[in-house]
């Protein structure tokens, strides 16, 4: 048992949270106002049975350790020690020592697994004519490929065996590659989502290899264009910047850096002689990113694609800039261009620097587009959104200059805007911070669940409940055809957890990363449990019906590739399912 499990088994989450906010029982849950953001209605929910919490307002979630870490602004190890001290729990020396040494050893194993895998990917690229040809067509020379240690993961049957052999020769076990999310366990084989992708190794600011980005490059590959390593304690996309360890010296020399959206753009800029460039890992820029780059330079040039998504990303970023000691300027590329394509066509990014806009002026000009055609309510909302953002600046002169410009854009007298700003500033700055944090969070956290149906959510909860009313064959079909991200979570848990009798929810929850935990908490606490067998069976049949055409097509493909024993098993399960649906008149 590790330190976190030791603490969680001795301190009920309800007891801890009730010290910070008032909760009232609502069925099997407890609800109250969220301690992390201001709200009038109770959207904060605690499940004592599962020992988790979730806020439907600001979307924070987790267990008792993560709750204390967030509210006390400390890391999880510090949170565990704080809980032990407050509740007078003596931690055995072996568990406390294990917490320190195990954490260090696990991180080092992760870095080593990634480093040796990066070496193997890089060597594999050198022997792949098709992968090298693709990179050369994109304009990358040998020096750039070697500088970023770009690689390739072959898709042939022997590739994974060769990777494992290379790892073992460097004292890296297969389980280390699995724990680093480089390899994954299927039902009977190991596989990797990085196969047949160009590999971009990702390092932290100290140059330690901690994850990978993969890009498809073959014409008929219909998978997602990019795939990043799954998050874990050593790889958090919101606090890592691609290329920072290589760019640090040049950034410090020029006291400026360029920030782009992806590693391909970063590499392209470096190839064209702009070395002080870093990239986010397919995510929006975060406060952690801004704090990180502000250590190295005072000026930041933000380059986003010339489309609506790029513009929206800059607007979200504006709301974070006030608390970073850095001067952000925006370079918007021509519509339809990204840095790589712009440079390939002979564009001059350095020339665009002279036309860059202060991020707050960019924010004003962007939200002011079409202002005269808005409704009165929308105009008020737009003006107040702008004033809330600039109200967080410390420079009074800059505030006044921005208000003068806003007066012209919005056609509202300066004094009126100034009065509105003064009223907002009467509230504590922390309240403004929380409001902006919630606004940013709403943009980023909800997208993954928007397309999930209630039917899928109910069945997802039933599987996590280890509901013995679901037959094993039904469970397999449900997981196979469940929408992402729920499917990925079930696949991650299924091999070692969901097929075991009396599985422990806490153990399963601990296997998930922060984003997956948030999704599970939200779905479980908003959906609830299905108790009646008849109602559950009806939901299962409706799910099968909605996926029937896809199931039939997939079965045909499986049968064309299966041996005699597998064919019998596949047909037997398929015919059982078909009979159930026919009996109910669903097909």
What would the DSSP string read from start to end of 3-52? HHHHHHTTS-HHHHHTTTS--EEETTEEEE--SSS--SS--EEEETTTTE
**DSSP conformational letter for 40:** S
As given in the structure block, the two tokens for residue 66 are 């993560």
Q: Per-residue pLDDT tens for 411-455?
A: 999 999 999 888 877 654 444 454 444 444 444 445 566 778 888
Q: Is the peptide bond before 587 cis (omega within 30 degrees of 0)?
A: no
* Partners of residue 330 on adjacent β-strands: 302, 357
Q: Look at the pTM and tell me if it is higher than 0.75.
A: no
Closest listed residue to residue 330, CA positions, set 298, 295, 299: 299
β-strand pairing of 29-32 with 44-47 = antiparallel
**With bands split at pLDDT 50, 70 and 90, how would you rate the model's confidence at 100?**
low
Non-local (6+) Cβ contacts of 353 within 8 A are: 301, 329, 331
3-class DSSP state of 90 = coil
Is a pLDDT exceeding 90 seen at residue 563?
Answer: no
Domain parsing of the chain, residue ranges:
3-91, 104-235, 239-367, 371-445, 449-546
Q: What is the pLDDT of residue 584?
A: 81
Range in 74-88, 98-112, 278-292 with the lowest mean pLDDT: 98-112
Q: Give tens-digit pLDDT for 349-369.
A: 888 888 898 888 888 888 888
Bridge partner list, 25? 30
Residue 22: count other Cβ atoms within 10 Å of its Cβ: 12
d(CA 128, CA 48): 54
Determine which of 275-289, 299-313, 360-374 has the lowest per-residue pLDDT on average: 299-313
Check: CB of residue 306 under 8 Å from CB of residue 337. Answer: yes
Q: Compute CA 511 distance to the chain's CA centroid, rounded to the nearest angstrom.
A: 16
Of 395-409, 430-444, 489-503, least confident by mean pLDDT is 430-444
The rounded mean pLDDT for the chain is 84
SS (H, E, C) 229-285: CCCECCECHHHCCECHHHHHHHHHHHCEEEEECCHHHHHHHHHCCCCCEEECCCCCC
At 31 the pLDDT is 92
SS3 category, 558: helix
Q: Which two tokens stand for residue 313?
A: 């990303």
Give the tokens for residue 281.
């890992």
Write down the pLDDT at residue 75. Answer: 77
DSSP line for 327-377: EEEEEEEEET--HHHHHHTT--HHHHHTT-EEHHHHHHHHHTTTGGGS-HH
Place of tokens 């750039």: 144
The confidence score (pLDDT) of residue 434 equals: 47
Quick one: pLDDT band at residue 292, thresholds 50, 70, 90?
A: confident
Poorest-confidence range of 6-15, 187-196, 487-496, 540-549? 487-496
Residue range 476-499: mean pLDDT, rounded: 74
Angle at 475 between CA 472 and CA 476, to 5 degrees: 90
User: 13 and 67 in contact (C-beta within 8 Å)?
Assistant: yes
Is 511 in contact with 494 (CB distance < 8 Å)?
no
Contact predicate 387/420, CB 8 Å: yes
pLDDT at 304: 73
d(CA 332, CA 110): 38
104-235: what fold?
DNA primase DNAg catalytic core, N-terminal domain (3.90.980)
Tokens at residue 384, please?
A: 């107040």
Is the pLDDT confidence value at 105 over 70? yes
For residue 497, name the pLDDT band (cuts at 50, 70, 90): very low
* 389 pLDDT more than 90: no
Q: What confidence category does residue 103 fall into, taking pLDDT thresholds of 50, 70 and 90?
A: low
d(CA 185, CA 191): 6
The larger pLDDT score, comparing residue 258 to residue 73, is at 258
111-151 per-position pLDDT tens digit: 999 999 999 999 999 999 999 999 999 889 999 999 999 99
Q: Which fold would CATH assign to domain 3-91?
A: DNA Primase; Chain A (3.90.580)
Correct CATH for 239-367 of 3.30.2350.10, 3.30.70.890, 3.20.20.140, 3.40.1360.10: 3.40.1360.10
pLDDT at 311 > cutoff 80:
no
37: Cβ contacts below 8 Å, ≥ 6 apart: 55, 57, 58, 434, 435, 437, 438
- What are the pLDDT digits (tens) for 518-528? 888 888 888 86
Q: CB–CB of 266/257 below 8 Å? A: no
Tell me the pairing of strands 226-228 and 29-32.
unpaired
Least confident of 164-173, 239-248, 563-572: 563-572
pLDDT at 281 over 80: yes
pLDDT at position 547 is: 87
The highest-confidence range among 115-124, 206-215, 543-552, by mean pLDDT, is 115-124
Q: What is the pLDDT of residues 46-75, one digit of tens each?
A: 999 889 999 988 888 899 999 998 887 677
Rounded to an integer, the average pLDDT of 178-189 is 90
Using pLDDT thresholds of 50, 70 and 90, give the confidence band for residue 374. confident
Most confident of the ranges 173-177, 262-266, 517-521: 173-177
Count CA atoms closer than 13 A to 372's CA, side-chain side.
Answer: 3
Cα gap 367→78, rounded to integer Å: 42
User: Hey, how many other C-beta atoms are within 10 angstroms of the C-beta on 136?
Assistant: 12
- Range in 116-130, 253-267, 277-291, 426-440 the model is least confident about: 426-440
Predicted pLDDT of residue 470: 66
């Amino acid at each position: 048992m590790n330190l976190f499990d030791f603490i969680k088994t001795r301190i009920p989450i309800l007891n801890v949270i009730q010290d910070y906010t008032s909760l009232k029982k609502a069925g099997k849950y407890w609800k109250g106002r969220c301690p992390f953001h201001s709200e009038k209605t109770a959207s904060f929910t605690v499940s004592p049975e599962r020992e988790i919490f979730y806020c439907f307002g600001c979307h924070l979630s987790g267990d008792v350790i993560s709750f204390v870490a967030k509210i006390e602004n400390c890391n999880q190890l510090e949170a565990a020690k704080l809980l032990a001290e407050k509740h007078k729990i003596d931690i055995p020396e072996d568990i406390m020592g294990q917490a320190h040494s195990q954490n260090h050893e696990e991180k080092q194993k992760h870095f080593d697994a990634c480093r040796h895998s990066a070496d193997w990917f890089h060597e594999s690229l050198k022997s792949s004519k098709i992968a090298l040809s693709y990179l050369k067509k994109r304009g990358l020379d040998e020096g750039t490929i070697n500088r970023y240690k770009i690689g390739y993961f072959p898709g042939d049957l022997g590739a994974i065996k060769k990777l494992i052999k290379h790892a073992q020769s460097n004292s890296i076990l297969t389980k280390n590659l699995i724990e680093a999310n480089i390899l994954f366990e299927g039902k009977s084989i190991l596989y990797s989502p990085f196969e047949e992708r160009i590999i971009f190794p990702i390092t932290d600011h100290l140059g330690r290899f901690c994850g990978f980005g993969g890009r498809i490059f073959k014409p008929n590959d219909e998978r997602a264009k990019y795939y990043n390593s799954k998050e874990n304690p050593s790889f958090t996309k919101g606090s890592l910047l691609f290329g920072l360890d290589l760019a640090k010296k040049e950034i410090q020399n020029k006291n400026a850096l360029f920030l782009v959206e992806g590693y391909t753009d970063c590499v392209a800029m470096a190839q064209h002689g702009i070395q002080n460039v870093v990239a986010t890992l397919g995510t929006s820029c975060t406060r952690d990113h801004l704090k990180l780059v502000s250590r190295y330079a005072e000026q930041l040039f933000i380059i986003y694609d010339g489309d609506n998504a790029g513009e929206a990303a800059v607007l979200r970023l504006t709301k974070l800039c006030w608390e970073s000691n850095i001067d952000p300027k925006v370079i918007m590329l021509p519509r339809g261009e990204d840095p790589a394509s712009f440079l390939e066509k002979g564009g001059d990014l350095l020339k665009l620097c002279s036309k860059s806009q202060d991020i707050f002026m960019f924010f004003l000009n962007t939200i002011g587009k079409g202002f005269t055609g808005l409704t009165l309510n929308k105009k008020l909302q737009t003006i107040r959104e702008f004033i809330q953002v600039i109200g967080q600046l410390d420079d009074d002169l800059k505030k006044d200059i921005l208000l003068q410009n806003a007066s012209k854009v919005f056609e509202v007298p300066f004094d009126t805007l100034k009065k509105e700003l003064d009223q907002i500033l009467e509230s504590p700055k922390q309240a403004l911070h929380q409001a902006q944090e919630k606004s940013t969070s709403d943009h980023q956290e909800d997208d993954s669940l928007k397309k999930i149906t209630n039917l899928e959510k109910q069945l997802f909860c039933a599987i996590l409940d280890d509901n013995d009313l679901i037959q094993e064959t039904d469970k397999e079909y449900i997981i196979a055809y469940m929408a992402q991200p729920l499917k990925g979570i079930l696949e991650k848990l299924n091999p070692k957890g969901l097929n075991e009798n009396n599985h422990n929810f806490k153990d399963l929850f601990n296997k998930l990363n922060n984003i997956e935990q948030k999704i599970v908490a939200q779905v479980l606490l908003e959906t609830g449990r299905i108790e009646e067998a008849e109602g559950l069976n009806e939901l299962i049949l409706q799910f099968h019906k909605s996926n029937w055409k896809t199931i039939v097509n997939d079965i045909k493909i499986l049968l064309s590739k299966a041996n005699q024993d597998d064919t019998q098993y596949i047909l037997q399960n398929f015919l059982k399912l078909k009979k159930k649906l026919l009996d109910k008149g669903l097909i």
